Amino acid sequence: LVPFFKTVALYFAVAVGRPPSWLPCLLKCLPVAFLGVFVVLHGISLGQERHSYSRRVLLGLCLSCVGDALLVWPWGFLPGMAAFALAHACYTAAFGLQPLRPWAGAACATLAAAAAALLLPGLWGKYRRWSLVLMVMVWRGVSRVRLFGDLWTWTRLCSCIGAVLFAVSDAMLALDAFYLSASPAYARHAVMFTYYAAQLGIALSVVDSRTMAALSVASEAPCRPATCCPGARTPAPRLGQ
């Protein structure tokens, strides 16, 4: 992760505020690219199911790099948003649908509706559809956290924090793009700081993804007295059986 932190510092020192060119584009993409390298070095394969979480996160990081590059130029705003929508879909697929936690989905839907009404009034439907994709990703990230039991891990909390920070970053980006004609000097820094923190949180969540997948399968398997409960007695067969 050292290259990630170094390139983030380099981006803030050199690229923020520069006119669109290939140098700011490269410096903007490098931190997320190094997070992709971190995911690959942690362990990944194309065929094994235990690496499916890492593969989806890696694909989301790659699509985020494409979105970062496109958003450097004004003409790339809509294609960049499309790339990030696909990245959010990859993260949602990685987070999965279990546990469902509908209360978290209802809370995210309420916040998304309020944000759309305040930040995006009068804009055409594609922005609202994009915000829906984002909020679904946040819902699934929040739903992964298990505060009690054997399946609690700090990396699940990282994915939750990363998803929430993604929403915060995008809300500030929308505010900066559509409401602030002359952005304060710190506005771009705040957007990118929360964005990189969000990507870092999601990337860190791959650390125990294989272990947690095995534990989830084990916790859902039916308990057999001879293996799961060593002290339990197997009932003796009845006569005639």
Asked if residue 42 is part of any domain, the answer here is: yes
**Would you state the pLDDT for residue 227?**
46
Asked if residue 160 is part of any domain, the answer here is: yes
- What's the whole-model pTM score? 0.81
**Would you state the pLDDT for residue 145?**
84
**Would you state the pLDDT for residue 139?**
93
Asked if residue 114 is part of any domain, the answer here is: yes
Asked if residue 137 is part of any domain, the answer here is: yes
Asked if residue 223 is part of any domain, the answer here is: no
- Give the pLDDT confidence of 85-119 residue by residue, as tens digits: 999 999 999 998 888 888 988 988 888 778 777 76
Asked if residue 218 is part of any domain, the answer here is: no
**Would you state the pLDDT for residue 226?**
46
Asked if residue 113 is part of any domain, the answer here is: yes
Percent of the chain whose pLDDT exceeds 90: 44
**Would you state the pLDDT for residue 6?**
96
Residues of the domain holding 197:
2-208
Asked if residue 220 is part of any domain, the answer here is: no
Distance, in Å, from the CA atom of 121 to the CA atom of 126, rounded to the nearest integer, reads 12
**Would you state the pLDDT for residue 77?**
87
pLDDT < 50: residue spans in the chain: 214-221, 223, 225-234, 236-241
**Would you state the pLDDT for residue 117?**
74
- Looking at the structure of the chain, the number of domains it has is 1
